Amino acid sequence: MKVLVAVKLKTGVLDPQGKAIGHALEGLGYNDVNDVRVGKLIELDLAETDREKARDAADSMARRLLANTVIESFEITIP
């Protein structure tokens, strides 16, 4: 079963990579971009067939490894 885990910085946490991308976009003439935040999308292919168990497994993986929950939040999607 495919499970997507989207990880992003929490509100208020500085995002230097996002700032650099925003600055580069401005340099390319994209002046209407107010802010850029960079995250990551992790696609898992789990052997689990039960949606709830797959979600629970992905949640455990995100909390233990995939996201630094002090500064990042995550969202799990099963397409």
Assign domain 2-77 to its CATH architecture.
2-Layer Sandwich (3.30)
Confidence of residue 79 (pLDDT cuts 50, 70, 90): very high
What are the boundaries of each domain within the chain?
Answer: 2-77
Radius of gyration from C-alpha coordinates of the chain = 16
Rounded to an integer, the average pLDDT of 12-24 is: 97
pTM over 0.85: yes
